[in-house]
Structure 1
Amino acid sequence: MAGLIAHEWIAQHGGSENVLAAMVEAYPDAEIHTLWNDAPERFAQARVTESWLARTRLRHHKALALPFMSSAWSRVDTSEADFVLASSHVFAHHVGGRKFDDDVEKFVYVHTPMRTVYAADQDSRGMSLPVRMAAGLVRYSDRRFVNTSVHYAANSHYIRERIDKVWGQQSRVIHPPVDTSTIRSSRLALIGAEEAQSTLLPRDFILGASRFVPYKRLDLVIAVAERLRLPAVIAGRGPQRDDLVRIAEDASVPVFVIEGPSNAMLHHLYRRASTFVFPAVEDFGIMPLEAMAAGTPVVVGAEGGAREGVEAVHGGVVADAVTIDALAAAVHEARDLDLAGVPDRVDELFGTERFVSELRHWVEGR
């Protein structure tokens, strides 16, 4: 089937890009449309078309580009496609515009309706004055592109409820893919500075990993490590880097901040950690599943989609609350878990092969 896949923007790293890769695996002949492509080597074998925004300075400033994104998606010609599959967390579901060709079926895989306007309490970017002033208009405009002729899938039951609440649409749940084969095979080797860095890590530590942004609550991971008197490793990249380094330097236990880890390093950290602590309220939460695929128990909060993976494979503990005491108690419990069979269950329930099969059934099974 010669389809059209719409994806917000292509970055070098990101969970939504992993979903896009699996979509391309399912439909290798589909043409990819994106606002801009910052990782051309990642989908070198695919046909990738960028929007007019890619030819402007706005491609490097998502916030400034936001007012133009819906228009850019609406201008995409979908008339020649057998089907349209949108991977959306901002406006990619606007692809083809409001007067979408009824002869072309449209499928929208929703990572989340736009967090900054529909769930601003969970994302500090949505609390800024400009966003709060524009949020009502953005919601009104966005809902005009939502209709019952489109097929929707959510990445978690948590997001399925949000879609129903803010868009008034029913959706099925197709959990995102986890690259369990690479994680379990350990075939990515550490080289250079990362290999040397790994030799400095303590034998026993708790791990926190994500983008370095406030809502991920990596500061809380450090606080939990202090409460437990255990070393911690914090891995990721992002604008909160300097703040986290200062917190790490002031901590009462050793805290190692690893900036921009490669996939090999991240998988190495998963396997080495005694527990992976993930306090963020996430739409789904791939990283806890990756840690469980590596055989490491995880601790997550009760709110959000991350608990769905933990409860499905029985590979961790859902904390009673996202507080230092509750998370520390959950870490104690998680460290005593028997994880025999957990990596196999992650592969069966959340692996890439499973995702591709469910995606094809959704798109072709009607």
Structure 2
Amino acid sequence: MSPDRTFITAEWLSETGGSERVVEQLAAALPRARVFTPVAFAHGAPSIDRSRIHAAFRHPEPVMRRREAAAAMNAVTWPTWGRTLARRADLVLASHHMSSHWTAIYSDVPHLSYVHTPARYAWFPELDDRASSSVPARALSAHIRRMDLKAAPRVVAYAANSHATRERIQQVWDRDAVVIHPPIDLERFAGLEPSPDVAPFLLGLSRFITYKRLDFVIDVGEAAGLPVKIAGGGALEGELRERAARASVPVEVLTGLSDVQVAQLLADCTALVYPAVEDFGLVPVEAMAAGRPVLALDVAGTRETVQHGVTGFRFPELDARAWGDRVADAAALSAQDCRTRAASFGAPAFRQTIVDWVAGSV
């Protein structure tokens, strides 16, 4: 198989989040592969040379604010692109969280799939109820389930980003997967120290969407009597600002931050509060790389990354008072222990594991 005829597929390359960072590392592991995505933001996945990115829709920011529109872009693109791959590709590696392995339906080219999660709003609405919000959203979820069940038997091999995701793949697609934890860029945090005289605050960092539960971060800040900073961006910005205005502690909502600013924010915080049920969750690992502890749920991905009583604390439920009572204990944990834990999720090891997995699967 020719490296020049290898394609990496991704649902979209938008503002850099966990899945976009993985696509960047997949592209680094396979440096001659090209990257196809239905929609590419101007600054999505910045480490990938623009000449390697093939996008059906560029600069889609206005319509990408609506998930239904983004999904429609995916739905109309994959059939045509899948048939094109039959002529142009020797191998496809999908970075999948909604639809990117669907090209397997339309092509006999060997497909591998690195899965962040089977689309949770389609398969696990108890974890993400966005699909219940409208008739189009419910129709989209049904379409995702149909297409996934067509694609899954045609994919040669699956890798999961966590043991929790592996279990979900087995449950809904009846396929096994190897577990390859996603990487973080440790160089972003090398030598990073808290800003001089920084005042204590709790941090929430993620996309502004419902299941991230950023409102609960504010609840914990109120319980602990500490200021809160909420960083990221997304559709719920207005609601978060309204909640911040009602809070009994100072709350800042920060958007449009650079990677450098985000890294410093992680280094400066007293603790990262991470109430989402995540398949893996890169942000908690990044917080530990910055030397800061994490407060998280004792489920799914954070159960695999946050060491209870060593790099943070895990909780059985969303009880703001219980979380707030642990902030002082978290602040006293060793920054070096946090960094040591994060180092086990470095990018070089991930890239080599991906290369070995690809070579052993085809």
TM-score with structure 1 length normalisation? Answer: 0.87
Q: What RMSD over aligned residues (CA atoms) do the two structures have, in Å? A: 2.7
**What residue ranges of structure 1 are gaps of 5+ in the alignment?**
188-197
Whole-angstrom distance in 2 between the partners of 1:214 and 1:96: 31
Q: What residue number does 2:352 align with?
A: 357
Indicate conservation of the 8 Å contact 1:205/1:274, yes or no. yes
Task: Name which of 146, 162, 168 aligns with 2:168.
Answer: 162
Matches within 5 A, 1:19-34: 19-34=22-37
Partner AA of 2:54 in structure 1? T
Of 210-219 and 320-329, the range deviating more from structure 2: 320-329
Q: What residue number does 1:48 align with?
A: 53
Whole-angstrom distance in 2 between the partners of 1:281 and 1:334: 20
Whole-angstrom distance in 1 between the partners of 2:321 and 2:77: 43
Task: Name which of 90, 103, 114 aligns with 2:119.
Answer: 114
Residue 300 (1) aligns with residue 299 (2): no
- TM-superposed CA distance for 1:254, in Å, is 1.5
Q: What residue number does 2:145 align with?
A: 139
Residue 17 (1) aligns with residue 20 (2): yes
1:165 counterpart SS class: helix
- TM-superposed CA distance for 1:233, in Å, is 1.2
- TM-superposed CA distance for 1:58, in Å, is 9.8
Whole-angstrom distance in 2 between the partners of 1:20 and 1:141: 22
1:37-94 Cα offsets, whole Å, 9 max, x none, are: 223682225422223x569999643144354244244333245434221111111101
The alpha-carbon distance between structure 1 residues 134 and 265, as it changes in their structure 2 partners (threshold 3 A), is closer
Indicate conservation of the 8 Å contact 1:313/1:345, yes or no. no
Partner AA of 1:363 in structure 2? V
Whole-angstrom distance in 1 between the partners of 2:154 and 2:271: 43
- TM-superposed CA distance for 1:100, in Å, is 1.6
1:257-296 Cα offsets, whole Å, 9 max, x none, are: 2122211111111111111100011121111110100000
Task: Name which of 310, 320, 331 aligns with 2:327.
Answer: 331
Q: What residue number does 1:97 align with?
A: 105
**What residue ranges of structure 2 are gaps of 5+ in the alignment?**
none
Q: What residue number does 1:225 align with?
A: 221
Whole-angstrom distance in 2 between the partners of 1:44 and 1:149: 27
The alpha-carbon distance between structure 1 residues 63 and 35, as it changes in their structure 2 partners (threshold 3 A), is closer
Q: What residue number does 1:75 align with?
A: 83
Whole-angstrom distance in 1 between the partners of 2:212 and 2:155: 36
Of 5-14 and 304-313, the range deviating more from structure 2: 304-313
Indicate conservation of the 8 Å contact 1:213/1:238, yes or no. yes
Residue 272 (1) aligns with residue 268 (2): yes
Identity of aligned residues (%): 35
Indicate conservation of the 8 Å contact 2:198/2:268, yes or no. no
Indicate conservation of the 8 Å contact 2:41/2:58, yes or no. no
Whole-angstrom distance in 2 between the partners of 1:58 and 1:294: 33
Partner AA of 1:8 in structure 2? E
1:326-364 Cα offsets, whole Å, 9 max, x none, are: 3223434322322324313312x2111111011011011
Count of aligned pairs between the two proteins: 351
Indicate conservation of the 8 Å contact 2:278/2:301, yes or no. yes
Indicate conservation of the 8 Å contact 1:313/1:346, yes or no. no
The alpha-carbon distance between structure 1 residues 282 and 236, as it changes in their structure 2 partners (threshold 3 A), is same
TM-score with structure 2 length normalisation? Answer: 0.88
2:203 counterpart SS class: strand
